[in-house]
Amino acid sequence: MKPHIVLKLLLLSLTFPVIALSPGDKVDNFRLLDHHGDAHELYYYSDASAVVLMVHGNGCPIVRNAMPAFREIRDRYADNGVRFLMINSNLQDTRETIMTEAQEFGYDMPVLMDETQLIGESLGLDRTSEILVINPRDWTLAYRGAIDDRLTYERQKAKANAHYLDDALKQLQSGQRIKVARTEAPGCIINFTDRDRESHAGISYASEIAPILQARCVSCHQTGGIAPWAMSSYNMVLGFSPMMREVIRTQRMPPWHADPHYGEWENDRSLTPAEKKTLVHWIEAGSPRGEGIDPLAATVAIAPEWALGEPDLIIDLPAHQVPATGVVDYQYLRAQNPLDHDVWVRAAELVPGDRQAVHHVITRFTAAGTDQRRAFRGGATGGGFGGYVPGSSVWLMPEDAGVLLPAKSNFVFQMHYTPYGKATTDESRLGIYFYDKPPTHRMAGTVLINVQLKIPPNAPAHSETTQYTFPQAAEIYGMLPHAHYRGKAARYTAYYPDGTNEVLLSVPAYDFNWQTFYKMAQPRRVPAGTRVTFTMTWDNSAQNPANPDPDREVRWGRQSWQEMQFGTLSFRFLAPGETVERATAAR
Ligand code: HEC
């Protein structure tokens, strides 16, 4: 072998130990969606006595054959706090085909979908039906191999003589050394098309990596932006590379929480599977600088103050002091619309006073003379201009559709401030743009609310559903699901009068930090009588790191230790001029 190749291989092995994870090695965290669309983060299961992963693949006789034994062990250890999951890295399998196979062969465990194959690569998976036992005390691999010695290719014994998985679990639970920590697992070979790590060293920082970061990250990761560090040069990116790998694997960054399986979104911030692979492979190859000028150092992004030009009306939000550290409860700031006549609004933009401190803003208004406290409770005529989150500050109505802002109406702004190490005063501003003449369509919108919610103490996944039925045909534009620290997942489903239904939006890993308005790429027309349900799921267990108190039964309230089920739905009726009278949906 030529000396430079030896050196390259040596360097590769120093960066990430990917090739095959051995017992005793650390298993890095990840988050994947299962075949039902539910999110699973490995490190969430820190209270388990063991996490067992079985490698799944459709159409593999050995997996099918091993299932009864796997289920039997699962049932026996269910009370011992062992968590059983399956993982599928096959390129050819989809949720739908897995669902069919699961029904036929009785897989009643979540099958985690590793679409990018990045997790399978890092676990060193090779064949389906292999078992990985992970020790949550230090997240090391305790055992990998076969369930037992019963199955081999095209032959099987009637009974197993060696019970590897069972033994490993017993030994792990009693704190003993795992006697047999590695065996060969028979199974169907998984096609990892992109596992050749040597070729990843050729990924170009200048022409492949930097453009992805510019498109997907820099709007927040720039000087003065909301993110704590700026992607302002290769060196910055190099320093944060291992952290970037972690946040991509756990899907924390970019902050976008919709399940890509349902719907398409105009403001989609997510990385495509190909972009994820390119970034992570480049990082795992040691983040090579390569040739070419550094695009991140060469560009200086200067955004205009108002993206749409000077507004027709500017509302100054009251100044608010943000401390240097700590957690600030959601603040509800008020302001009055000074206009003594109604106006039709075509756009609005929220410009944060201190971009680093303002994490999100939800703008609502209620008609003059109504109780402002109801702005976040429904029951009053009113509306909203959606939410501000970093990177999307403009709220643009569809063509020839507008929101009527009544004279002297009251604004209520829900502000989420995040202290960033320096005390500051925020003075945010709302810019509003009018139509010259009334548009044909009135933007409507409702809030699906459930003030009766009751979340039992310590419940890991408590769901409640509220709904709205369209009295007339309408066109839906988007939605913003909102809850507090215990929010876990959110889902909007449309039930059509013909008996069919469709998931409009699923947010499997809701994050209260990111109040995203999900704007449909194509507005969805729905007939009269369509019922839209909004299901919120909360995690009131101690495993939810944000949970202020798992022992409390939680009810509706504006304080962060209370909860909300507040889902906006923006639409317009197809008939011109129509509106919704009441802003509250029936439960
Ligand atoms: C919409 C704004 C936004 C975008 C887009 C964004 N980030 Fe971030 N990023 C943040 C914020 C804010 C934080 C601070 C942590 C937090 O509040 O969640 C952060 C933190 C991080 C961290 C530090 C880890 C941590 O937990 O603090 C990394 C690494 C990171 N981002 C990488 C990325 C990468 C890579 C991309 C693009 C693929 C990206 N981010 C896109 C806003 C953003």
Write the CATH number for 503.
2.60.120.230
- Give pLDDT, residue 8: 45
Q: Outline where DSSP puts E strands in 130-237.
A: 131-135, 140-145, 151-152, 155-156
Indicate whether 269 and 311 sit together in one domain.
no
Structural domain tally of the chain? 4
Q: pLDDT below 50 — which residues of the chain?
A: 1-18, 379-380, 580-587
Indicate whether 470 and 548 sit together in one domain.
yes
Instruction: Give the H/E segment covering residue 100.
Output: helix 95-105
Indicate whether 470 and 401 sit together in one domain.
no
- The one-letter code for the residue type at 430 is L
Q: Is the CB of 219 under 6 A from ligand 1?
A: yes
| pLDDT digit string, tens, across residues 436-475 | 999 988 887 788 999 999 999 999 999 999 999 999 999 9
Q: Are 332 and 376 in contact (CB under 8 A)?
A: yes
Indicate whether 41 and 107 sit together in one domain.
yes
Of all protein residues, the one whose alpha carbon is nearest to atom 15 of ligand 1 is 227
Inside any domain, residue 6? no
* Domain assignment of residue 553, given as a range: 441-587
Task: Compute, in angstroms, the gap from residue 254 CA to the centroid of ligand 1.
Answer: 6
Q: Which of 298, 332, 367 is the last residue of a domain?
A: 298
| 40 Cβ contact list (under 8 Å, min separation 6) | 31, 32, 33, 34, 85, 110, 112
CA torsion sign, 307 to 309 to 314 to 319? positive
Residue 235 has φ and ψ, to the nearest 5°, of: -60, -40
Indicate whether 576 and 450 sit together in one domain.
yes
- Give pLDDT, residue 366: 86
Q: Is the CB of 221 under 6 A from ligand 1?
A: yes
The pick from 216, 247, 279, 518 for probing ligand 1's pocket by mutation, whose C-beta has the most ligand atoms within 8 angstroms, reads 247
- Give pLDDT, residue 184: 92
- Give pLDDT, residue 9: 45
Q: What is the CATH number of the domain that holds 47?
A: 3.40.30.10
- Give pLDDT, residue 303: 61
Q: Are 228 and 420 in contact (CB under 8 A)?
A: yes
Indicate whether 61 and 125 sit together in one domain.
yes
Q: Name residue, tokens 């439960």.
A: 587
Indicate whether 488 and 586 sit together in one domain.
yes
The number of the ligand 1 atom at minimal distance from the alpha carbon of 275 is 38
Indicate whether 122 and 235 sit together in one domain.
no
- Give pLDDT, residue 15: 45
- Give pLDDT, residue 306: 86
Indicate whether 496 and 451 sit together in one domain.
yes
CA torsion sign, 121 to 133 to 145 to 188? negative
Rounded Cα–Cα distance for residues 381 and 366 (Å): 6
Task: Compute, in angstroms, the gap from residue 250 CA to the centroid of ligand 1.
Answer: 12
Inside any domain, residue 366? yes
Rounded Cα–Cα distance for residues 320 and 482 (Å): 23
Q: How many Cβ atoms are within 10 Å of 79's Cβ, its own excluded?
A: 7
Q: Which of 373, 407, 439 is the last residue of a domain?
A: 439
The number of the ligand 1 atom at minimal distance from the alpha carbon of 269 is 5
Q: Is the CB of 269 under 6 A from ligand 1?
A: yes
- The one-letter code for the residue type at 546 is A
Reference 512, options 492, 479, 541, 489; nearest CA is 489
Q: Are 583 and 380 in contact (CB under 8 A)?
A: yes
Inside any domain, residue 188? no
Q: Which of 267, 298, 329 is the last residue of a domain?
A: 298
Rounded Cα–Cα distance for residues 365 and 395 (Å): 15
Of all protein residues, the one whose alpha carbon is nearest to atom 14 of ligand 1 is 227
